[in-house]
């Protein structure tokens, strides 16, 4: 190796080493020294944790009293993920996902319900118990988790100041339920689900 080339290589190695002192364990190994994957995995885990939504943002008014909770099966978790994906598609934030999931927990326990016959509330169907006769869409549309979530969020966007309202008030303004205070009982579980699945 000639002297000029050797100096260049040493200079680059010196820069990599100096950069490593300031940039942390990942950058410190910019040369060909073998490294273990543990530091990288730890850094990646920190990044994932940092990307998780903050509970203060998910529950800006704190947790209402008398919270309910249901155990969810795989299909219900898939519906949670569909609601979160639709929320992102609508360009809305984590709080909108909390409102949506809490609403669906109240309306259907996150089950994509078809017509329930005599037990049906008029012609309400789907995750949000939306009614074709009230203009929410066709039966096929409102039993599609993405469509029904986007329809709910479209209504939510039209509520002035929904971001600053208690969840149950925001949900009720869209849903016009006979039980307007019942949405609040699902707020903690909805926030926990958004925290768990927002980045998954």
Task: Spell out the per-residue pLDDT of the chain, length 200, in tens.
Answer: 544 444 443 343 333 333 333 333 333 333 443 444 444 444 444 444 457 888 989 999 998 899 999 999 999 999 999 999 999 999 999 999 999 999 999 999 999 987 655 555 567 899 999 999 889 999 999 999 999 999 999 999 999 999 999 999 999 999 998 888 999 999 999 999 999 999 98
> What are the tokens at 122?
């008029």
User: What is residue 117's predicted lDDT score, i.e. its pLDDT?
Assistant: 56
d(CA 196, CA 184): 20
User: What is residue 199's predicted lDDT score, i.e. its pLDDT?
Assistant: 93
d(CA 115, CA 130): 11
Backbone angles phi, psi at 195, to 5 degrees: -60, -40
User: What is residue 91's predicted lDDT score, i.e. its pLDDT?
Assistant: 98
- Break the chain into its structural domains and give their ranges: 3-51, 60-197
Nearest to 174 by CA among 154, 156, 187: 156
Nearest to 188 by CA among 70, 74, 108: 70
**Residue listed under structure tokens 């205070």:** 181
The secondary element (H helix, E strand) that includes residue 141 is helix 139-142
Q: Are 185 and 107 in contact (CB under 8 A)?
A: no
User: What is residue 113's predicted lDDT score, i.e. its pLDDT?
Assistant: 87
d(CA 161, CA 171): 12
């Amino acid at each position: 190796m000639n002297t000029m080339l050797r100096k260049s290589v040493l200079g680059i190695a010196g820069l990599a080493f100096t950069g490593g002192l300031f940039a942390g364990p990942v950058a410190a190994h910019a040369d060909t020294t073998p490294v273990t994957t543990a530091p990288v995995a730890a850094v990646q885990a920190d990044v994932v944790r940092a990307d998780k939504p903050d509970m203060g943002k998910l529950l800006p008014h704190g947790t209402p009293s008398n919270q309910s909770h249901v155990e969810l099966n795989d299909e219900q978790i898939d519906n949670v993920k569909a609601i979160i994906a639709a929320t992102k598609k609508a360009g809305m934030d984590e709080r909108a996902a909390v409102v949506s999931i809490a609403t669906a927990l109240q309306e259907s326990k996150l089950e994509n319900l078809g017509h329930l016959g005599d037990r049906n509330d008029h012609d309400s169907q789907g995750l949000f118990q939306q009614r074709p006769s009230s203009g929410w869409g066709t039966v096929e549309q409102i039993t599609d988790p993405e469509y029904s979530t986007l329809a709910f969020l479209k209504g939510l966007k039209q509520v002035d100041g929904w971001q600053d309202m208690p969840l149950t008030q925001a949900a009720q303004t869209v849903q016009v339920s006979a039980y307007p205070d019942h949405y609040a009982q699902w707020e903690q579980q909805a926030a926990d689900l958004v925290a768990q699945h927002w980045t998954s």
